[in-house]
Structure 1
Amino acid sequence: MAEHLDDYIDAVASAMALPLEDAWRPVVRANLEVSLRLARLVDEFPLPDDTESAAIYAA
């Protein structure tokens, strides 16, 4: 999976014209791994079929 993440990081940096120093790559990869792990938890959380989205979000 690390190779796929490296390819993704390269593609996004290129698409956004962002300079990416080699020293930053491990930190960027680690952040992306955590973000993807958290997104997977949200995605796998079961919701009933009749769940409706909130019309107004407030904190």
Structure 2
Amino acid sequence: MFKTFLKDESGAQVVEYALIIAVVSIALVLALQLLGSGAPFTNFIGRLNTCLNGPGPCV
């Protein structure tokens, strides 16, 4: 019974997908922290907001 349990690989794919999701999630959080904390990103969002909502030309 124990040998068949060790040979069973049906749950291995679920663990692999969970690890991939965890790595992608960590990378996404780190990237968003780097982008959100800097002044260039804030300036970009401000210019984008002005361009979309303002009456003047986009520069």
Measured against the shorter chain, the TM-score band is 0.3 to 0.5
Of structures 1 and 2, the larger Rg is shown by 2
TM-score (norm 1): 0.45
Of structures 1 and 2, the one scoring higher in RCO (CA 8 A, sep 6+) is 1
Return the structure number with greater helix share: 2
TM-score (norm 2): 0.45
